[in-house]
Amino acid sequence: MVEFSWVVRSPLEHALVAGPYGASGEAGVSLTEIRNFDLIQVMARRGKATEVATAAKARLGVAAPETPKAVQTSDAALIWSGPDQFLVLSKGGKHAINQLSQAFASSASLSDQSHARALISISGAKARAVLAKLSSIDLHPDAFPVGAAAATSMDHTSVTLWRGDDGLNGQAVFNVLVFATFAESLWHTMLDSAAEYGVAISHSEEF
């Protein structure tokens, strides 16, 4: 049998060049790729939505979102991704597939998406202006407050978009999960969109 040695690499490893980009001066936008996370898709089996909600509450401490919302716990985010389904985003393996599968064994189908998506965090004074060029979703704070989520498309690419807790400076933080093989394409589109405001590019292991 052939022995494989898997090397975990970011889908944006080549495209992402940390540092300033676009217009000079103070960056209006920060684009940060979050690396090394656990991401589990939980889909309720037919007629089992109530059981899934109970199981989520027991295992993760919060009810699973039933509408387009993202719910934050002390060590995970539950992000709505469609009717009777949500994503569990966490770090450090505590809520990885093997840890969660037992809790949802009788009620939901789980699928490990940890290495299937790239996670991009967009913040800064011009974050909403950047996303307005890519998304038809109204991201005004009145329409898209902290904890709002959407399964939508950006530049013809399916994404899961949600607004996380505001940054330390009080500015909105938007998170985008995109399929790994589309990540580079969307990344370049985001850079094009953000260049006029000046961009601070980085990657991080922390949410």
Partner 1 sequence: MRIVCPFCGERELGEFTYLGDAKPQRPAADAGEDAVYDYVYLRDNIAGVMSEHWYHGGGCRSWLKITRNTLTHEISAVEPAAGAGAAKVGA
* Residues of the shown chain interacting with partner 1 in the complex, contacts defined by CB under 8 A: 44-50, 66, 68, 81-84, 136, 150-153, 156, 158
CB 136 to partner 1: min, Å = 4
Tell me how far, at minimum, the Cβ of 101 lies from partner 1, in Å: 20
Of 14 and 46, which has the nearer Cβ to partner 1?
46
Nearer to partner 1, 35 or 117 (CB): 117
Helices (H) and strands (E) in the chain, counts: 4, 12
Residue closer to partner 1 (CB basis): 150 or 183: 150
**Nearer Cβ to partner 1 (121/160):** 160
- What's the rounded Cα separation, in Å, for the pair 164 and 21? 24
- Of 53, 42, 175, 48, the closest CA to residue 97 belongs to 42
Q: What span, in angstroms and rounded, lies between the C-alpha atoms of 111 and 183?
A: 20
The secondary structure of residue 55, as a DSSP letter, is H
CA 71 to mean position of chain CA atoms: 12
The residue to which tokens 């991704």 are assigned: 81
CB of 39 to partner 1, least distance (A): 17
As measured in angstroms, the least distance from the Cβ of 156 to partner 1 is: 8
